[in-house]
Amino acid sequence: MNPQYDVVIVGGGAAGALTACRIKSAKPDARILLLDAGNNGTAKPDRDAFVAAYQTAAIKNVPSPYAGLDNNRLGYAPSSDGAPDPVAMNRYYVETGPDLYESGFQRMLGGSTWAWRGNTPRFLPNDFQLKTNYGVGADWPIAYADLEPYYVQAEAELGVSGNDDEWVGLTPRSAPYPMPGMAPSYGDELVRAALADIGPIDGVPVTVVTTPQARNSEEYRDRSACQGNSSCIPVCPSGAKYDAGFHIGLARDRLGVEIRTACVVTRLLPRPGNLAPTVVFRDWTTADKAEQQVDAQHVVVAVNAIETPKLWLLSGLDNRSDQVGRNLMDHLANEIVGLFGQPVFPFRGPQSALGIDTFRDGDFRRNNGAFRMTIGNDGWGRTEPPAVALAHFMWDDANKRIKLTGQPLQQAIRDRVTRQLRISFSTEQLPDPANRVTLSDERDALDIPRPKIAYRIDDYSKRALAYGHSVARRMWQHLEDTAGATEVSPLQPDLRFLGAGHLMGTMRMGTGPSASVVDPTGQSHAHRGVWVVGSSVFPTCGTANPTLTLSALTLRTADALAATL
């Protein structure tokens, strides 16, 4: 029997959208269906609606542009405006601890690229050989050199701005960035100048570089240059920051990929022989939400590191390695905030343009995780956004009365908000089989088991957080000594770490079925014709934001799949 499609793709985020475009471009006659659980569009009117919702929201947080989506009726959305965020009882996950997994995702067409910051540094060569080089974690089944050509292609697809000369010695390149790096803001230049003479910390030079970003520094592929709105997280008003809606539109409107939204895939039913499983899904906009089925030669699972193992376990697919759902990772973040000695005028330009990448590798990784650092251009960021700062200026909480209004309030804002600065860092986390996604007894609005997460921060990662804070503190001390800065942190004394929104692990790639779920091309060891794309296949989490690396891996997997059609 001929299948209905050559390829069915589950998920319309960056990995799914890139997979659809790549295969369809290589095989124009291929019949491709992409199913996504979200029910939003990706064109300009949709963006305008998200921006309007964000601008009028009482609390401006990551969910606020998307709070009006029908998807929220399914209980997948983070907490609503004004509610505690995050707390266990209003989250989609069922958390068993001992630590909370602090990162979530956007369940919508285009995925979390709607709300990401857009940073796209590459992994370092040593990130792929952590076990061999430092005796911790795991090695990848591929090397940096295997992925480098796909890094170049992924940078072109996403539209990455970067300065080649600043990355010599860190990430070898075979081609230049598609666009020059983002211009630093006025405040960026002041901070970089103040750090110019800091000297090494623990023998490591403190070198400030322009962060590669999937954000247009000039017009690129019919998308405008960055307009400096400084709301990259949670929504870019202009579309200068890449989101997967670009490739969704390309796949649907130019390449002829069939895309269906509001379709939640509930199971993959194994079929006899070497046939790919039947994809079972529900269109939750229909009256009865009845299950529907579709067959294909190949099934590509392109959802995230939470939903992929959940779907695998719901389907009863092979788990002889006992690795499905294990080794859930994130980058653990924290920051120091304060006031620079003179106005830096944050909130003009992207939320961050500069970073420090020299602490991403070194022999210290035998003892604690590496980290990359960010110089913020968004004031105190999520620790205390401007609306919260304004409330602190106006309201005397101890005496329950207004303390500032009129010109004194304006002066306080001018003096404080214009000088806000943050130095952030995010650390790697080792893969830990105890950090695990399984199925909960609790069910969502479609009567599907919710993901249960067991999560803990290991000592290696705790030492990384402590070391990152030590380095950031010494940098801040230099700013105090040379530029009149004043530290204000911690604004949240009990804060241990922040989630980075980097969901990784749970479907490890490797060379054999005894210790991994998929092979180095992303194909299931046990179920030929089933492929997994995205950061769930990462054996380790590296020291860089994952989107560029998952995009490069996706292109590599799509090429391997297309070669079989």
What is the per-residue pLDDT for 400? 74
What is the per-residue pLDDT for 410? 86
What distances in angstroms separate CA 260 from CA 82, 111, 229, 461, one per listed residue? 33, 14, 32, 41
Domain boundaries, the chain: 1-165+242-330+433-454+505-564, 178-211+332-427+458-496
| Residue at 259: amino acid letter | I
What is the per-residue pLDDT for 75? 47
> What 3-state DSSP class applies to 547?
helix
| Residue at 545: amino acid letter | N
Least confident of 101-105, 309-313, 401-405, 424-428: 401-405
Selection from 378, 376, 400 nearest residue 389 by Cα: 378
Mean pLDDT over the full length of the chain: 92
What is the per-residue pLDDT for 147? 99
What is the per-residue pLDDT for 449? 94
Does 232 score more than 60 pLDDT? yes
Residue 23 CA to residue 466 CA, distance in Å, equals 45
Torsion of CA 51, 113, 502, 214, to 10 degrees: -110
Phi-psi region for residue 60, left (φ > 0), alpha (ψ -120 to 50) or beta? beta
Share of the chain above pLDDT 70, in %: 95
Q: Which of 142-151, 403-412, 492-501 has the highest mean pLDDT?
A: 142-151
Report how far Cα 211 is from the mean position of its chain's Cα atoms.
15
Give the 3-state secondary structure of 367-390.
CCCCEEEEEECCCEHHHECHHHHH
What is the per-residue pLDDT for 89? 41
pLDDT tens digits for 419-475?
999 999 999 999 999 999 999 999 888 889 999 999 999 999 999 999 999 999 999
395 versus 378: which is more confidently predicted? 378
What distances in angstroms separate CA 214 from CA 109, 114, 121, 164, 177, one per listed residue? 19, 12, 10, 15, 11
What is the per-residue pLDDT for 61? 82
Omega cis (within 30) before 98: yes
What is the per-residue pLDDT for 539? 99
Name the pLDDT band for 402 (thresholds 50, 70, 90).
confident
What is the per-residue pLDDT for 80? 39
Selection from 93, 341, 35 nearest residue 193 by Cα: 341
Does 479 score more than 70 pLDDT? yes
Q: Dump strand ranges (E) for 136-222.
A: 208-210
What is the per-residue pLDDT for 72? 56
pLDDT tens digits for 59-89?
788 888 988 776 655 544 333 333 334 444 4
What is the per-residue pLDDT for 82? 36
What distances in angstroms separate CA 233 from CA 209, 364, 401, 446, one per listed residue? 21, 32, 33, 29
CATH topology of domain 178-211+332-427+458-496: Cholesterol Oxidase; domain 2 (3.30.410)
Does 272 score more than 50 pLDDT? yes
User: Within 13 A of 3's CA, how many CA atoms are on the CB side?
Assistant: 23
Q: What are the DSSP calls for 287-332, one per residue? A: SS--EEEE-EEEEEE---TTHHHHHHHHHT---TTS-TTB--B--E
CATH topology of domain 1-165+242-330+433-454+505-564: FAD/NAD(P)-binding domain (3.50.50)
Matching fold, domains 1-165+242-330+433-454+505-564 and 178-211+332-427+458-496: no
What is the per-residue pLDDT for 413? 83
Least confident of 1-5, 30-34, 88-92: 88-92
Name the pLDDT band for 494 (thresholds 50, 70, 90).
low
What distances in angstroms separate CA 363 from CA 23, 126, 202, one per listed residue? 41, 11, 12
pLDDT tens digits for 103-114?
989 889 999 999
What is the per-residue pLDDT for 74? 55
> What 3-state DSSP class applies to 124?
coil
User: In this structure, what token pair is assigned to residue 381?
Assistant: 């960021």
User: In this structure, what token pair is assigned to residue 336?
Assistant: 């120091």
Name the pLDDT band for 250 (thresholds 50, 70, 90).
very high
157 versus 105: which is more confidently predicted? 157
Report how far Cα 161 is from the mean position of its chain's Cα atoms.
18
Residues contacting residue 18 through CB under 8 Å, at least 6 positions apart: 154, 157, 244, 247, 533, 551, 554, 555, 558
288 versus 182: which is more confidently predicted? 182
Share of the chain above pLDDT 90, in %: 80
Overall average pLDDT of the 292-310 stretch:
97
Does 488 score more than 90 pLDDT? no
User: In this structure, what token pair is assigned to residue 413?
Assistant: 């804002």
pLDDT tens digits for 412-435?
888 888 999 999 999 999 999 999
> What 3-state DSSP class applies to 245?
helix
What is the per-residue pLDDT for 451? 95
Overall average pLDDT of the 511-522 stretch:
97
Cβ burial of 309 (10 Å; 0-12, 13-18, 19+) is buried
User: In this structure, what token pair is assigned to residue 387?
Assistant: 């609306």
DSSP label of 46: H
Phi-psi region for residue 110, left (φ > 0), alpha (ψ -120 to 50) or beta? left
User: In this structure, what token pair is assigned to residue 425?
Assistant: 């860092």
